[in-house]
Amino acid sequence: MKVCWQGAKLLVMILLVACNQPVGDQAGVANPNRSSGSAEVPGSQSGDRGSRILITFLGDSLSAGLGVNEDEAFPMVVEGRLRDLGWNVEVVNAGISGDTTAGGVSRLSWILRQGPQVVVIELGANDGLRGMSVQMTEANLRQVISGAKEAGARVLLVGMKIPPNYGSEYAQHFEGIFPSLADELAVPLVPFLLEGVAAEPALNQADGIHPNAAGHLRVAETVMPYLESILRDLEVSRPSPGS
């Protein structure tokens, strides 16, 4: 499905201004995560988390919840809903506004030191909006996905689209990065994070791109089935007590 966003040029300019913040290692150190608990993840030093499953969202302003309260960002909404369903999970929101896939590469080792069982990769939107090379974006995402898998984490890749004013060829190539990598590296894919949210005024902030609180609820609904599937698979693959 192609996305047709009204006023796309203006919205992109607004987003680029809003996301013009330091990214990469320096930003990651200043605000390494936003989780429901403390910045230090319990049990991450010893690697013994019992039955609790640590889910880390490695993302940009969409994951970080730019413009909404911390607990309204969709990763934290997902945590609450999964817990309501009986899953013993903890979510670390490692979203940083303005981050790119290159920033994700630079932050990956820090993310993996926490020992997440699941890593949700929500990066690439800023690459596309800045007109960065599709090949470079793809290579960076491949490195992040492969690194997380090699560390033993399950990966959920989140697909993105960009407004068509960048040219249909570039937009199509950009959109194609995500399903191509999902097939190549055998990871599940959320086809489009903002499905049902993009271009819906009632679900977005004044910039027309970042979801409001209601929009984050919709995004959480989009992501939930994929995470539940991963959690069920993890549950089946875990050794039984005493084995």
* Whether the predicted pLDDT of 238 surpasses 80: no
Q: Which amino acid is at 130?
A: R
Q: What is the mean pLDDT of residues 60-83?
A: 98
* pLDDT value at residue 47: 37
* pLDDT at residue 163, rounded to an integer: 85
Residue 205: per-residue pLDDT = 98
* Higher-pLDDT residue of 7, 103: 103
Residues 6+ apart with CB under 8 A from 238: none
DSSP 10-79: HHHHHHHHHT-S--SHHHHHHS--EESS-SSPTTTTT---TT-EEEEEEESHHHHTTTS-GGGSHHHHHH
Length in residues, the chain = 243
**28: amino acid identity, one letter:** G
Percent of the chain with pLDDT over 70: 77
User: What domains appear along the chain, each with residue ranges and CATH number?
Assistant: 8-37+48-237 (3.40.50.1110)
Whole-angstrom distance, CA of residue 92 vs CA of residue 52 = 13
pLDDT at position 14, please? 36
Task: Give residue-wise pLDDT tens across range 142-197.
Answer: 999 999 999 999 999 999 999 888 899 999 999 999 999 999 999 999 999 999 99
Contact 79, 35 (CB under 8 A): no
Tens of pLDDT, residues 5-50: 444 433 443 344 334 444 333 333 233 334 333 333 333 333 333 4
Q: Which residues are catalytic?
A: 61, 207, 210
Torsion, Cα 56 61 62 65, to 10 degrees, reads 80
Give the pLDDT band (50/70/90) at residue 203.
very high
The pLDDT-based confidence of 104 (bands split at 50, 70, 90) is very high
Q: What is the mean pLDDT of residues 96-119?
A: 98
Q: 131's torsion region: left (phi>0), alpha (psi -120 to 50) or beta?
A: left
* Residue 91 pLDDT > 50: yes
Q: How confident is the model at residue 240 (pLDDT cuts 50, 70, 90)?
A: low
Sequence letter at residue 134: V
pLDDT at 239: 60
Q: What is the predicted pLDDT for the residue at 134?
A: 97
The predicted pLDDT at position 241 comes to 54
DSSP E strand boundaries for 77-215: 89-95, 118-122, 154-158, 189-190
Between the alpha carbon of residue 8 and those of residues 12, 19, 221, the distances in Å are 6, 16, 25
